[in-house]
């Protein structure tokens, strides 16, 4: 997605406010010259004896309200006018700040929400390969770059332009030659800033990289502290860190030295410009060509201009960052999200699953080939096969995490592809091998999909998943938060919480994708026993490495290289020659040998 | 399962703390002195520009005589050049202090982190330590250096402006300066408010980062649970907060500047009214009036700066306390001075005095209590002969990890002794003990760098050939050769580019290169793929040869091959013997075996044999 498009979209809804901010900054900039002009009038014409200078309207107005004499006897009125214009200018500058903040914060909010929403709706496959760190970086610091630009930098550029636009006519109308000499440094300062900050980008980048490396070394040294200790590498680590830290220090110092050169040179330029105004203005004043008030006006006006101009150079040099940030955000938004056809249906799902010659290819490789089987509601289907045989893919198709290429999958007689994705997933309790727990309490984690569940329901599913006692053993029980600020659950405990979570959905289809791998055999058996009554007749798919787990299934599918090579019950499969009986017998044999061994020992003792 | 609790930190400015922190900047005393002097000069020059204007008005313009203006111009130019130079000097000096203090704090901090016991790491989140070592140290460097710059400049400017004005016309000065107290109070109040709000914004920002992190890492789970809308709603709540708080902060900030400017214009007005009357009556010169008007435009800068700096110090104080807390944490496991004198410390070991242990180790009446008071081991006794392999078996929390942690001296016995070759291991010194130790974790940890560098971590002076031999010995060569650049391939951050099995093989090679006397291995519980499994079993066999080993075992094959199996329950050795004897004994091990390990026989590593 193009950078400008991202920005344009995100601005939708804030454009009017943003325009108001720009108008206010313009008015504030214009008005900021009113006070210096009034001071000049006060010094020259009220306190001094010069004729009133400026456009005829102003001169006439002053005459009409009693002339200079009136002001002279009543100096307060001039002061009141000065304070008033400052206040009015202040009001505009406040409004500008308020509007710019409102617009840019809303923009950032929209960008953040849009990114979050978009990322959540990207395909399952995208998230399998996604780099969390990178995505977070783009959604935080890149959004921040854009926000900062819109909130501060863009407005600052506007202010600088308005101020130049306001100052030049005023100064040139007062005295063109003096004005020309007075603003001579402005383009120089601007170009100097622009060139300097453009050139310094490289150093900035080096500092960033060095900072990143320092963090990596630190992070690794801290997380690997046991390794460091066991090998006695404290000195080595300290030296390694020291080297990075020193490099970082030197780079930052280099950057600061460059900044020192920049600030001293640009300050020198600015101060010299003021000096030129004072000296040249003095000679002009001595010659009677300008007044003291005019001199003061020039000093004040040019001082007011110099800083925004310097900033403008810096901002324009930084523009590159902004467009890079927008481009990086655009790259995420350009990835297509999951979508359903308009005709997608939401049928009642009871759990009758039919695979009919289903094939699926991924990254040019056939993962599933002509898979066919039927599972009526309530059946337990076990999937068995070596790594890469397609077991996980098969169940992922059922949850519409991937879409099959050929053949047909029917759920209760309806073609799966026509069923709305979310609708389907809501009816499939899918327990991943490595489930993710959120930084919420354990109760909230269990009731993620059914947030209004009653306490009894939560306890019941936790008991079924054999995790209730574990949870109760924590100080705060179900209210214990999970994560860095709470408890760290073991792999097996996480899996059990995830099972409880899936059960709470009471889905017509349940999938356990090797989701008891980190649970010991005894607990595994307990959970399976509890499940047989608690799954409410759900059609259940189990992937496991434990033969005893699989043996009890109503239907066992043996997969190899994407094909179903054998299917049947434990008994029928044992009767066939094939992978299943071979495996089973091999283990039987081992078990028998072990029994023999035991017996032999028994006899010996 | 320690929940980390953070101390409360005070909010009032604590001078003692800053004095202590300045102690850390002692090396930069000259720099700081230099900065102070330079800032005084800078402020005085800043204050003299209006004086120059006054001179021009009173000496040239009012009398209408330009004689001597060349000299005036030269003087002005000299001031400008000097100011430019001084600015260069103070930025350079402050930069040196900023980067130097930050570097020193990090260096000290990291060295202290190397000395702190594992207990510290077990009870402190890594993220907390990271923040102390990165942004907090950086912030302190900045606060100390630029804080001094701003304070010196602010104080001197205010003084110089005040003195110059008082000298020119004390009556007028007093009238105009009456604006300063309300300005100072307002500035302070506003800065406080801004600080408070910025804190809230920052906190909200970390909430956003946390939520994003979670949203992305949990995306797959979210999909299967169809939680997208609920998640988005929760996220929108946080971003909505962020918008509200940020706007509130911006409003306060946008209110502050106009108010200050208005007060400034009141100052200007006072100067005009009273100065103007003075000019009209002839009591005040035109030049003085012009100078006063310039001062009123300038003098809120130092006031504003001072208010900002004070607030800055206040907000950096929490960082200061935390960083110093970390640096000053006492290491719990340290060697006695006489041990250090003989064998050196962890940074400067005296290897010449070391001897290689034989491998014999005994626990004698060892009791171990965690700081929380939970007693894990009580009067634990164990003698292991040189070269024996020990499999530790038992439930989570039975104490087997504690035994290993004590052996590694990650923790020390609360009472009792651990003897290596008959000598208390505390008398042999930390690093000498570590030098006899090889350790492979359940979740192997690698450092970013090449495979070769990671293996060489085991013995830093090992030659390339030795590294490759170690890899060959554990059977890692095949997979390493398959990598794009072989031994030179990068393993990624934390080894992320390698699979778990591959990481384990590299960590075995690393351990074997160290040629340890004691080998400690925490076996992985979860299954890895069959091929890697087989390689790892072979590697373990190689490593165990001729070494005393302690294995927290989960695999039946590993347990069976051990010389001794120790069944640990409630911090005691419940059973001790070989696989055969323990099976025959029909006790805990037998039950454990029947219920748990036998099942492993049924799981699928047999695929490779079909």
Domain ranges of chain A: 1-173+324-337, 346-427+534-605, 430-506
Residues of A in contact with B457 (CB under 8 A): 227, 231, 233, 236
Task: Compute the nearest-CA separation of B472 from chain A (Å).
Answer: 21
Using CA atoms, how far residue A317 sits from A138, A202, A527, in Å, is: 21, 12, 63
Residue B504 distance to chain A (closest CA, Å): 13
Residue in chain A closest to B407 (alpha carbons) equals: A230
How far off is chain A from B431, nearest CA to CA, in Å? 6
Q: Which two tokens stand for residue A93?
A: 């500058």
Question: Under CATH, to which class is A1-173+324-337 assigned?
Answer: mainly alpha
Min Cα separation A356/chain B (Å): 24
Collect all residues of chain B within an 8 Å Cβ-Cβ radius of residue A427: none
Structure tokens, A401 = 């995490």
Tell me, what's the pLDDT at A486?
Answer: 61
Nearest CA in chain B to A242: B107
Instruction: Report the SS3 class of residue B527.
Output: coil
CA distance B532 to B235: 41
Q: Do B293 and A296 touch (CB under 8 A)?
A: yes
DSSP B236-285: HHHHHHHHHHHHHHHHHHHHHHHHHHHHHHHHHHHIIIIIHHHHHHTSS-
**Token code pair at residue B542:** 């190689």
Comparing CB atoms, the residue among B65, B100, B239 nearest residue A109 is B239
CB contact under 8 A, B225 and A448: yes
CB atoms within 10 A of CB B92: 20
Chain A residues with CB inside 8 Å of B284's CB? none
CA distance A113 to chain B (A): 6
Question: What is the phi/psi pair of residue A540, to 5°?
Answer: -120, 130
Residue A149 DSSP one-character state: I
Q: Are A301 and A170 in contact (CB under 8 A)?
A: yes
How far apart are the CA of A261 and the nearest CA of chain B, in angstroms?
A: 6
The pLDDT assigned to A599 comes to: 64
Reported CATH class of domain B15-328: mainly alpha
Which position has the higher pLDDT, B434 or A58?
Answer: B434
Contact B272 A223 (CB under 8 A): no
B91 with A449: Cβ contact below 8 A: no
* The token pair that represents A440 in the structure block: 């919420």
Interchain contact, A587 vs B91, CB within 8 Å? no
Q: Is the pLDDT of residue B433 over 50?
A: yes
* Residue B292, burial from CB neighbour count under 10 angstroms (0-12, 13-18, 19+): buried
B264 neighbourhood in chain A, CB within 8 Å:
86
State whether A132 and B213 contact (CB < 8 Å).
yes
User: To the nearest whole angstrom, how far is the Cα of A317 from the nearest Cα of chain B?
Assistant: 22
| Helix extents (H) in A130-184 | 132-137, 143-148, 154-174, 176-182
CB contact under 8 A, A253 and B348: no
Compute the radius of gyration of chain A from its Cα atoms: 38
**Sheet with A406-411, edge to edge strand ranges:** A365-375, A353-362, A406-411, A414-415
- Residue B164 has a pLDDT of 93
CA distances from B328 to A228, B98, B110 (A): 21, 21, 12
Please report the pLDDT score of residue B606 as a whole number: 41
Hey, where are the domains in chain B? Answer: 15-328, 386-410+426-602
d(CA A397, CA A358) in angstroms, rounded, equals 10
- Cα–Cα nearest to B220, from A129, A135, A214: A129
Chain A, nearest residue to B445 by Cα: A224
Mutate to test the interface with B, among A127, A208, A225 (most CBs of B within 10 A): A225
CA distance B137 to A249: 12
Which residues of chain B neighbour A587 with C-beta distances below 8 Å?
A: 601-602, 606
pLDDT computed for residue B608 by the predictor: 37
Q: Are A381 and A554 in contact (CB under 8 A)?
A: yes
Distance from the Cα of A39 to chain B's closest Cα (Å) equals 8
Tell me the nearest-neighbour CA distance from B255 into chain A, angstroms. Answer: 6
Contact A42 B276 (CB under 8 A): yes
Of B113, B227, B232, which has the smallest distance from its Cβ to A116's Cβ?
A: B232
Please give the CATH number for the structural domain made up of B386-410+426-602. Answer: 3.40.50.300
- Give pLDDT, residue B599: 52
CA torsion B485→B491→B497→B499, rounded to 10°?
A: 100
Fold of the A346-427+534-605 domain: Rossmann fold (3.40.50)
Of A98, A135, A249, the CB nearest to B103: A249
Residue B87: which of A98, A267, A436 has the nearest Cβ?
A267
Closest Cα in chain B, distance from residue A579 (Å): 8
Kindly report which listed range (A221-225, A489-493, B314-318, B584-588) carries the lowest average pLDDT score. A489-493
Residues 6+ apart with CB under 8 A from B17: B317, B320, B321, B324
| A94 → closest Cβ in B1, B69, B255 | B255
Six-digit token string for B388: 């024996």
* A78 within 8 A of A46, measured Cβ to Cβ: yes
A260·B273 Cβ contact <8 A? no
Out of A116, A242, A295, whose CB is closest to B235? A116
Same fold, A346-427+534-605 and A430-506: yes
Phi-psi domain of A355 (left: phi exceeds 0; alpha: psi -120 through 50; beta: other): beta
CA neighbor of B523 nearest in space, from B410, B440, B408: B440
CA distance A413 to chain B (A): 22
Whether B86 shows a pLDDT value over 90: the answer reads yes
Comparing alpha-carbon positions, the chain B residue that sits nearest to A593 is B601
Residue of A236, A263, A278, A552 best to disrupt the B interface, most CBs of B under 10 A: A278
The CA distance from A420 to A346, in Å, is 6
Spatial distance between the Cα atoms of B501 and B226, rounded to a whole number of angstroms: 33
Rounded Cα–Cα distance for residues B459 and B439 (Å): 13
Q: Give the best residue of A240, A265, A286, A453 to mutate against chain B (max B CB count within 10 A).
A: A286
Nearest-Cα residue of chain B relative to residue A112: B239
CA distance B435 to B515: 9
Cβ pair B596:A222 closer than 8 A: no
Cβ pair A226:B100 closer than 8 A: no
* pLDDT for B560: 82
Closest-CA residue of chain A to B284: A47
Predicted ipTM? 0.87
A299 neighbourhood in chain B, CB within 8 Å? 53, 294
Whole-Å CA distances, B218 to A115, A410, B110, B214, B235: 15, 29, 33, 6, 14
CA A440 to chain CA centroid, nearest Å: 20
Distance CA B165, CA B47 (A): 10
The alpha carbon of residue B116 is apart from the nearest alpha carbon of chain A, in Å, by 10
**CB distance A282–B56 less than 8 Å?**
yes
Query: Does residue A555 contact residue A580 with C-beta atoms inside 8 Å?
Result: no
Q: Which of A136, A449, A583 sits opposite B213 (nearest CB)?
A: A136
Alpha-carbon gap, residue A379 to A539, rounded angstroms: 5
| Beta carbons of B257 and B183 less than 8 angstroms apart | no
Q: Which residues of A touch B598 (CB under 8 A)?
A: 591, 594
Among candidates A93, A430, A490 on the partner chain, residue whose Cβ is nearest the Cβ of B258:
A93
Which three-class secondary structure state does DSSP give residue B600? helix
List alpha helices for B56-136, DSSP H: 69-115, 118-123, 126-131
Give chain A positions within 8 Å (CB) of B55.
Answer: none
Q: Please name the residue that has the structure tokens 């203005």.
A: A281
- Which of B126, B216, B527 has the CB atom closest to A223's CB atom? B126
DSSP A50: P
* Percentage of chain A exceeding pLDDT 90: 51
What's the whole-number mean pLDDT along residues B581-589?
84
Q: Are strands A380-384 and A539-543 parallel, antiparallel or unpaired?
A: parallel
Spell out, as residue ranges, where chain A has pLDDT lower than 70.
1, 387, 484-487, 521, 587, 590-605
A430-506, which class in CATH? Answer: alpha beta
Which helix (H) or strand (E) segment is A326 a member of?
Answer: helix A292-334
Q: Which residues pair with A419 in a beta bridge?
A: A345
Q: How confident is the model at residue B605 (pLDDT cuts 50, 70, 90)?
A: very low
Mean pLDDT across B526-542: 71
Size of interface A-B (CB pairs under 8 A): 446
- Residue of chain A whose Cα is closest to the Cα of B60: A286
C-alpha–C-alpha distance, residues B444 and A224, integer Å: 9
Query: For residue B220, what is the nearest residue in chain A, using CA coordinates?
Result: A124
């Amino acid at each position: 997605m193009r950078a400008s498009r991202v920005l344009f979209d995100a601005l939708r809804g804030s454009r009017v406010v943003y325009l108001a901010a720009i108008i206010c900054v313009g008015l504030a900039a214009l008005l900021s010259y009113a006070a210096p002009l009034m001071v000049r009038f006060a010094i020259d014409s009220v306190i001094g004896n010069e004729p009133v200078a400026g456009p005829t309207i102003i001169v006439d107005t002053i005459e009409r309200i009693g002339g200079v004499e009136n002001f002279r006897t009543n100096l307060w009125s001039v002061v009141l006018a000065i304070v008033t214009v400052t206040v009015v200018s202040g009001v505009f500058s406040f409004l500008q700040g308020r509007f710019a903040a409102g617009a840019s914060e809303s923009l950032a909010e929209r960008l953040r929400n849009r990114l979050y929403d978009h990322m959540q709706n990207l395909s399952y496959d995208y998230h399998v390969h996604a780099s969390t760190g990178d995505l977070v970086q783009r959604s935080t610091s890149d959004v921040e770059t854009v926000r900062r630009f819109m909130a501060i930098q863009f407005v600052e550029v506007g202010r600088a332009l308005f101020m130049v636009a306001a100052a030049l006519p005023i100064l040139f109308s007062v005295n063109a030659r003096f004005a020309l000499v007075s603003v001579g440094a402005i383009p120089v300062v601007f170009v100097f800033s622009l060139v300097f900050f453009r050139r310094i980008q490289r150093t900035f980048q080096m500092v960033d990289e060095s900072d990143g490396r320092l963090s990596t070394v630190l992070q690794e040294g801290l997380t690997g502290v046991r390794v460091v200790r066991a090998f006695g590498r404290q000195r080595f680590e300290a030296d390694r860190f020291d080297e990075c830290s020193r490099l970082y220090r030197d780079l930052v110092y280099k950057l600061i030295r460059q900044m020192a050169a920049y600030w001293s040179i640009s300050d020198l330029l600015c101060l010299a410009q003021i000096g030129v105004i004072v000296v040249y203005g003095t000679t002009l004043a001595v010659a009677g060509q300008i007044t003291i008030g005019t001199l003061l006006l020039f000093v004040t006006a040019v001082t007011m201009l110099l800083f925004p101009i310097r900033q403008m150079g810096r901002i324009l040099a930084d523009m590159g960052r902004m467009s890079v940030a927008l481009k990086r955000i655009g790259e995420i938004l350009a990835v297509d999200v999951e979508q359903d056809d308009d005709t997608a249906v939401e049928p009642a799902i009871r759990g009758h699953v039919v695979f009919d010659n289903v094939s699926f290819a991924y990254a040019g490789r056939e993962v599933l080939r002509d898979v066919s089987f039927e599972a009526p509601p309530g059946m337990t289907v076990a999937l068995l096969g070596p790594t890469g045989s397609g077991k996980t893919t098969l169940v992922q198709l059922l949850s519409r995490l991937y879409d099959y290429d050929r053949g047909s999958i029917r759920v209760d007689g309806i073609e799966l592809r026509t069923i709305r994705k979310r609708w389907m997933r809501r009816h499939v309790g899918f327990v991943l091998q490595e489930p993710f727990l959120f930084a919420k309490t354990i109760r909230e984690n269990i009731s993620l999909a059914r947030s209004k569940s009653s306490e009894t329901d939560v306890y019941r599913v936790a008991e079924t998943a054999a995790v209730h006692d574990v949870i109760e053993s924590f100080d705060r029980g179900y209210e214990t938060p999970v994560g860095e600020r709470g408890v760290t659950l073991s792999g097996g405990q996480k899996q059990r919480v995830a099972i409880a979570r899936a059960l709470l959905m009471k889905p017509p289809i349940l999938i356990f994708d090797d989701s008891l791998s980190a649970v010991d055999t005894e607990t595994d058996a307990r959970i399976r026993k509890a499940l047989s009554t608690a799954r409410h007749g759900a059609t259940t798919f189990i992937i496991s490495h434990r033969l005893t787990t699989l043996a009890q299934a109503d239907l066992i599918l043996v997969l190899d290289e994407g094909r179903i090579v054998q299917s049947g019950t434990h008994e029928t499969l044992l009767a066939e020659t094939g992978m299943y009986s071979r495996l089973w017998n091999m283990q039987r044999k081992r078990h028998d040998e072990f029994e023999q061994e035991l017996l032999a020992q028994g006899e010996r003792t | 399962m320690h929940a980390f609790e953070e101390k409360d930190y005070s909010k009032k400015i604590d001078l003692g703390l800053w004095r202590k922190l300045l102690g850390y900047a002692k090396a930069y005393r000259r720099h700081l002195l230099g900065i102070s002097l330079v800032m005084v000069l800078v402020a005085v020059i800043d204050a003299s520009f209006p004086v120059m204007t006054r001179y021009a008005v009173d000496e040239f313009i009012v009398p209408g005589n330009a004689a001597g203006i060349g000299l005036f111009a030269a003087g002005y130019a000299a001031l400008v050049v000097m100011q430019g130079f001084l600015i260069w000097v103070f930025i350079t000096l402050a930069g040196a202090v900023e980067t130097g203090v930050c570097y020193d704090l990090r260096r000290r901090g990291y060295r202290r982190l190397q000395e702190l016991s594992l207990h510290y790491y077990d009870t402190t989140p890594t993220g907390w330590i990271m923040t102390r070592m990165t942004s907090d140290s950086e912030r302190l460097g900045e606060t100390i250096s630029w804080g001094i710059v701003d304070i010196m400049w602010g104080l001197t400017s205010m003084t110089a402006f005040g003195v110059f004005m008082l000298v020119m016309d004390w009556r007028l000065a007093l009238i105009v300066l009456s604006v300063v107290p309300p300005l100072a109070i307002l500035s302070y109040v506003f800065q406080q408010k801004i600080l408070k709000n910025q804190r809230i914004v920052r906190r909200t920002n970390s909430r956003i980062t946390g939520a994003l992190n979670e949203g992305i890492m949990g995306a797959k789970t979210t999909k299967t649970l169809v939680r997208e809308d609920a998640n988005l709603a929760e996220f929108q709540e946080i971003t909505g907060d962020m918008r509200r708080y940020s706007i509130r902060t911006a409003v306060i900030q946008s209110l502050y500047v106009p108010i200050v400017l208005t007060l400034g214009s009141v100052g200007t007005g006072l100067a005009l009214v009273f100065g103007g009357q003075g000019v009209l009556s002839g009591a005040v010169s035109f030049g003085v009036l012009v100078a006063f008007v310039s001062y009123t435009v300038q003098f809120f800068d130092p006031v504003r700066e001072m208010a900002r700096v004070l607030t800055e110090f206040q907000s950096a104080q929490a960082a200061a306390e935390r960083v110093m807390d970390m640096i000053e944490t006492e290491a719990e496991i340290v060697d006695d001075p006489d041990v250090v004198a003989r064998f050196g410390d962890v940074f400067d070991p005296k290897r010449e005095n070391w001897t290689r242990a034989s491998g014999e180790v005994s626990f004698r009446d060892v009791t171990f209590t965690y700081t929380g008071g939970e007693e894990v081991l009580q009067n634990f006794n164990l003698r292991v002969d040189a070269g024996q392999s020990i499999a530790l078996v038992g439930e989570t929390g039975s104490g087997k990890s504690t035994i290993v942690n004590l052996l590694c001296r990650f923790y020390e016995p609360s009472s009792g002794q651990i003897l290596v070759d008959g000598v208390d291991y505390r008398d042999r010194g930390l690093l000498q003990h570590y030098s006899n130790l090889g350790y492979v974790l359940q979740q192997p940890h690698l450092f970013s760098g090449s495979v070769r560098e990671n293996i060489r971590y085991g013995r830093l002076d090992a030659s390339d050939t030795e590294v490759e031999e170690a890899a060959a010995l554990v059977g890692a060569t095949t997979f390493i050769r398959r990598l794009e650049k072989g031994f030179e391939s990068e393993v990624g951050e934390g080894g992320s580019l390698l699979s778990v099995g591959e990481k384990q093989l590299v960590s075995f090679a690393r351990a074997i290169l160290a040629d340890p006397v004691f080998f400690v291995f925490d076996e992985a519980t979860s299954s890895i793929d069959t091929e890697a499994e087989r390689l790892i079993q072979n590697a373990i066999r190689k490593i165990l040869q001729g070494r005393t080993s302690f294995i927290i075992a989960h695999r039946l094959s590993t347990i069976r091959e051990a010389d001794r199996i120790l069944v640990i329950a409630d911090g005691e050795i419940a059973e001790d013997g070989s696989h055969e004897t323990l099976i025959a004994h029909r006790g805990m091990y037998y039950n454990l075996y029947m219920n748990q390990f036998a099942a492993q026989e049924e799981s699928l590593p047999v695929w490779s044999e079909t």
